[in-house]
């Protein structure tokens, strides 16, 4: 059997893997990315709503060819139709075409020296004392450090003996791009409630004045049926046209317990590095991917690809994002336990106390811990949620 040798091998050419590749390649080590599909970015599962601040943190231009529309806020709708708006004067987020976005990241990585091989499925890993072995039939790869960026259905996390996500316990998502609708291009819509989207929410992301990406996530229900029902209600007056349909599992369970081992780092959806409140994983998973790329390159250069050194990756991302994931996970658990009546009460409070203005001024799409703790410190909100706070020992 012949084994090709590389220094850093990355499994999966999604945003987390590609940003890891870019950062490792920038540090002049050999980087090989293996992608199972024939094209980068396809099939696409994502709504592509990304904050402009977040893109800046990833060192990715906010005006790239992938940007379809920019928005400056969101309107939230309760089960009974109460609503409030969270907004800024200037755009805060954009809808991106994930296929073009992922290809842009791939180009960045390749320009810095990374190699990407398509149509390569990695099925197993063997962590030896001196290297990681990836076996592919009658040959394979030897790598100093492997970065697993396989997304939500990672095989490698389990094969390496680490505790993996259980995709069957995550909400299922479904979305369509619709043309010929009439929407405000400046605002995303978020619709919550057990009848609309049990266990998650429905979204309407404007792609312009006459097209949207509309989707929802849910638990224990059929997302396509619920989405069809939602679209009929939301766009009942309009003769819309369905352009594309996408589906996928949405990670809301927070990070897995351990994201490193000898010769191995886990990043992105595979590591659960996704906002449990919104299911957005491109920015935070991308930040973790970038950290992984840097640590992997450093490990190769120092000749220290073992656990003792690679734990630096987990220490770094937990230092930057650990508190964010903790707060967002609490918020998700509390929200999942609220009845539609309780959600309506929460909306009433927010509107009555003008809290959406505080969120408008101080909220951050990716770093939500400050605003969540500020809202929770409000006496009336605290009182409303107290039974659930006790239930979850918060």
Ligand X SMILES: Cc1cc2nc3c(=O)[nH]c(=O)nc-3n(C[C@H](O)[C@H](O)[C@H](O)COP(=O)(O)OP(=O)(O)OC[C@H]3O[C@@H](n4cnc5c(N)ncnc54)[C@H](O)[C@@H]3O)c2cc1C
Per-residue mark of binding to ligand X, 302-341 (x: CB under 6 A): ----------------------------------------
Binding segment for ligand X (CB under 6 A), chosen from 110-118, 244-252, 300-308, 333-341, is: 244-252
Per-residue mark of binding to ligand X, 206-235 (x: CB under 6 A): ---------x--------------------
The binder of ligand X chosen from 23, 30, 35, 177 (CB under 6 A): 35
For the chain, the C-alpha Rg in angstroms (whole number) is: 21
272, 293, 268: which is closest to 283 by C-alpha?
Answer: 268
With both helix axes pointing from N to C terminus, report the angle between 340-352 and 379-391 in degrees, rounded to the nearest 10.
150
The binder of ligand X chosen from 8, 10, 11, 385 (CB under 6 A): 11
Q: Using an 8 Å Cβ cutoff, are 155 and 167 in contact? A: no
Q: Using an 8 Å Cβ cutoff, are 375 and 360 in contact? A: no
The binder of ligand X chosen from 16, 259, 261, 369 (CB under 6 A): 16
- Distance (Å, rounded) from C-alpha 374 to C-alpha 55? 25
Binding segment for ligand X (CB under 6 A), chosen from 33-41, 132-140, 179-187, 338-346, is: 33-41
Q: How many C-beta neighbours within 10 Å does residue 246 have?
A: 17
168 DSSP 8-state letter: G
Binding segment for ligand X (CB under 6 A), chosen from 32-40, 67-75, 301-309, 320-328, is: 32-40
Tell whether omega for the bond before 43 is within 30 degrees of 0, i.e. cis.
yes
- 39-63 core/surface letters (b: 16 or more CB in 10 A; e: else): ebbeebbbbbbbbbebbebbebebe
Show Cβ contacts of residue 259 under 8 Å, excluding neighbours closer than 6 positions.
162, 265, 266, 267, 271, 288, 313, 314, 317
32, 9, 12: which is closest to 113 by C-alpha?
Answer: 32
Is there binding between residue 198 and ligand X (CB under 6 A)?
no
Q: Using an 8 Å Cβ cutoff, are 381 and 374 in contact? A: no
Is there binding between residue 177 and ligand X (CB under 6 A)?
no
Is there binding between residue 15 and ligand X (CB under 6 A)?
yes
The binder of ligand X chosen from 21, 26, 48, 260 (CB under 6 A): 48
Binding segment for ligand X (CB under 6 A), chosen from 73-81, 150-158, 256-264, 322-330, is: 150-158
Nearer to ligand X, 140 or 248 (CB): 248
Is there binding between residue 276 and ligand X (CB under 6 A)?
no
> Cβ of residue 388: shortest distance to ligand X, in angstroms?
26
> Cβ of residue 122: shortest distance to ligand X, in angstroms?
4
The site for ligand X (CB under 6 A) is made up of 11-17, 34-37, 45-50, 120-122, 149-151, 155, 173, 175, 215, 248-250, 268-269, 274, 279-283, 285
């Amino acid at each position: 059997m012949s084994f090709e040798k590389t220094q850093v091998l990355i499994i999966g050419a999604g945003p987390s893997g590609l940003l890891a590749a870019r950062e490792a390649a920038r540090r002049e080590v050999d980087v090989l990315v293996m992608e199972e599909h024939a094209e980068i970015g396809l099939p696409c599962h994502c709504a592509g709503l990304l904050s402009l601040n977040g893109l800046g943190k990833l060192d990715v231009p906010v005006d790239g060819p992938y940007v379809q529309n920019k928005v400056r806020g969101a309107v939230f709708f309760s089960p009974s139709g109460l609503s409030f708006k969270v907004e800024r004067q200037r755009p805060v987020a954009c809808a991106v075409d994930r296929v073009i976005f992922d290809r842009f990241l791939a180009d960045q990585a390749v320009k810095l020296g990374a190699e990407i091989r398509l149509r390569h499925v990695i099925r197993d890993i063997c962590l030896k004392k001196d290297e990681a072995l990836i076996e592919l039939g009658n040959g394979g790869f030897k790598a100093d450090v492997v970065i697993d960026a396989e997304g939500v259905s990672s095989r490698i996390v389990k094969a390496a003996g680490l505790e993996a996500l259980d995709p069957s316990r995550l909400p299922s998502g479904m979305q369509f791009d619709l043309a010929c609708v009439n929407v405000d291009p400046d605002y995303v819509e978020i619709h919550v409630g057990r009848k609309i989207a049990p266990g998650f929410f429905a979204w309407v992301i404007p792609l312009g004045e006459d097209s949207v990406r509309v989707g929802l996530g849910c638990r224990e229900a059929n997302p396509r049926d619920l989405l069809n029902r939602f679209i009929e209600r939301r766009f009942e007056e309009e003769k819309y046209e369905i352009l594309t349909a996408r589906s996928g599992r949405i990670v809301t369970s927070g990070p897995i317990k351990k994201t490193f081992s000898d010769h191995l780092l886990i990043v992105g959806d595979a590591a659960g590095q996704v906002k449990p409140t919104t299911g957005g994983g491109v920015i935070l998973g991308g930040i973790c991917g970038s950290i992984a790329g840097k640590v992997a390159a450093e490990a190769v250069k120092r000749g220290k690809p073992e656990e003792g050194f690679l734990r630096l990756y987990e220490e770094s991302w937990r230092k930057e994002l650990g508190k964010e994931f903790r707060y967002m996970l609490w918020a998700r658990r509390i929200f999942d336990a609220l009845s539609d009546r309780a959600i309506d009460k929460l909306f009433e409070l927010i509107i009555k106390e003008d809290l959406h203005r505080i969120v408008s001024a101080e909220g951050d799409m990716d770093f939500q811990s400050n605003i969540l703790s500020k809202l929770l410190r409000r006496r009336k909100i605290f009182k409303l949620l107290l039974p659930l706070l006790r239930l979850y020992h918060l």
